A and B are shown apart, each in its own frame.
Chain A
Amino acid sequence: MKQSESVKERLERLELPFNAYGVDPYGVSKWHLRVIFEMMSFFYRSYFRVRCHGIEHIPARGRAMVVGNHSGGVAVDGAMVVTSCLLEMEPPRLAQGMAEKFIAATPVASTWASRCGQFPGLPELAARLLEEDRLLMIFPEGARGTAKLYPQRYDLVDFGTGFMRLALKTRTPIIPFGFLGGGAAIPTVANLYGLGRALGMPYVPVTPYVLPLPLPVPLEIHYGEPMVFEGTGNEEDTVIQGYVEQVKERIAGIIERRRHERWKGVAS
């Protein structure tokens, strides 16, 4: 990204069908995007000093799915992946996440999430977005992935298989990515499931300093080469599981390669 180019200018170059009011057919709003990305660009560039590699692997246009690991007890990983697609891609693209369903029922959060293109994880909606050549962001570990504790920050938990059936059905390339640093930014030592249920969310992460506020730890995103699978999406579970394992291995490989090198070259 040209450093001189503002968030506003990049949003103007988003290839989404905004109407006269700056709203697209899914309710994504230019105004909301600007407010959020002005804030996120500070976190991306200055607070987390995100290092992004391989962004060229994401197609500039057409349907695609970025699929990666969860890292950190709250959605810092998702926010930085979405920001990387806006700030680093040419032309900028909006990655649309499939959020946890409780967000859609939460006041304020539901409005901001949907105005920024982050919708509840519903297969029908995901298929529709892909058919309209949009870019989806998927974390197949789901809420189990964000619940990882600090010692397991580089581990991967079981992947769901829905994303693979969706990719096959819609003939969508998968761009695997590894996200590193989220576990150190939010060092979760315990998850309070009872309190989470009371608050209408899966759990509440607890850090050594109690609140799950992210520390200014450098973060890394590594996008890998696209993976294309052939099929209809109606294959046997064993076939689908095999494809999912290939994606998981690719992501695990990225994490394993980078985890030992990630502190090299980080400016103090």
Chain B
Amino acid sequence: MRVLILGIGGAVARRVALQLRDKGHTVSGIDTRPWEDAPADIEVHDVDLRKRPAEDVFRTRRPEVVVHMATVTSLRVQGEERHRINLGGTRVVFEHCRTYGVKHAVFVGRHTFYGAAPDSVLYHTEDEPPKELASFPELADLVAADLYASTALWRYPELTTSVLRVCYSLGPSAQGTLATFLRGRRVPMVAGYDPLFQFLHEDDVASAIALAVEKRVRGVYNVAGPQPLPLSVIIREAQRQPVPLPMMVLRQLIGRFGLPKLPPGALYHLQYPIVVDARAFKEATGFTYRFDEVRTIESFLADHPPPRPRREELFDRLEALGVLKQ
């Protein structure tokens, strides 16, 4: 099959591309981010998805399957720009799919769709609506993109649409929300809270998306793998240092002293769990994960050991300069 991957420059998207290529599909992709060492048999188009040259790719390459991974989750991109990329981009993708006779569209969304709240159920099923959008409006564009993609199921019945709500990914690339959060030596927590986090090795995420392409599943599916873990356990096993701070203090400190800049709503995700039920996807595709939670954290840790304390680095430099003796 001819497969077009949108957002092919991302760590997981690259893995999807390689897996599908290895299975004999003709893979091409669109991204403004570079993929320097892309294999010669994977064509990468450096164009903006919302611009005319992207439509030219659809028209000239005539993909049978489109995997839409060109959404932004990073909360560093905010406001109108996020809205344009996530919702505007998704709309354009489905219009092109319809115009150029694409048979199968896969929208890769996030499990954060369901929202974090004290009365949220553990193991959300696909028929549940999003919650807590008012407290975390920055996520609204991703939720809207997910719901827009879901409407293709009835608006374009001739197009097989898969909407995947994928849990956090973790692995050697250290890309993604959870991995970025764990990169530093100290990891902030909201004191008194220790939510469950659900994650999947990035190779397994790629396998799940490739499986959705091959099985051509139609509908909305949660995608997850091993059991969730409390955030404190993930931090401990990743050999980071948890820094529990009262909510009021954390609100004041985010974006300062090396802590990530996050909108206040994001702190809800450090208080309450978002855990999804992925049984429907497993039944539809037969998906099984290769990396359990222990191996997934180990693979992240192997490539991203905790940064050394600044004091040690300073001593090393002083030793190198001969100021201190070994």
Contacts and interface: CB of A to CB of B under 8 A. Distances in A.
Interface of A: 19-21, 23-27, 29, 101, 104-108, 110-111, 115, 119-120, 122, 124-125, 128
A107 B233 contact: no
Contacts of B237: 21
Interface in B153-210: 190-194, 196
Interface in B51-96: none
Interface string B235-257: 00100000000010000000000
A19 B227 contact: yes
Interface in B202-237: 226-230, 233, 237
A23 B119 contact: no
A128 B277 CA distance: 10
Contacts of A20: 294
B121 interface: yes
Q: Mostly helix, strand, loop or mixed at chain B's interface?
A: loop
Contacts of A125: 121-123
B136 to A, nearest CB: 16
Interface residues of B, number: 26
A25 B227 contact: yes
A120 B119 contact: yes
B24 interface: no
Contacts of B121: 122, 124-125
A19 B293 contact: yes
Nearest to B232: A111
B322 interface: no
B309 interface: no
A57 B272 CA distance: 36
A125 B122 CA distance: 7
A27 B118 contact: no
A89 B196 CA distance: 29
Given A19-B292, A124-B121, A125-B122, 6 more contacts: A21-B229, A101-B119, A105-B118, A107-B191, A115-B194, A128-B277
Contacts of A25: 227-228
A124 B119 CA distance: 11
Given A111-B192, A111-B194, A27 B119 contact: no
Contacts of A107: 190-193, 247
A29 B119 contact: no
B273 interface: yes
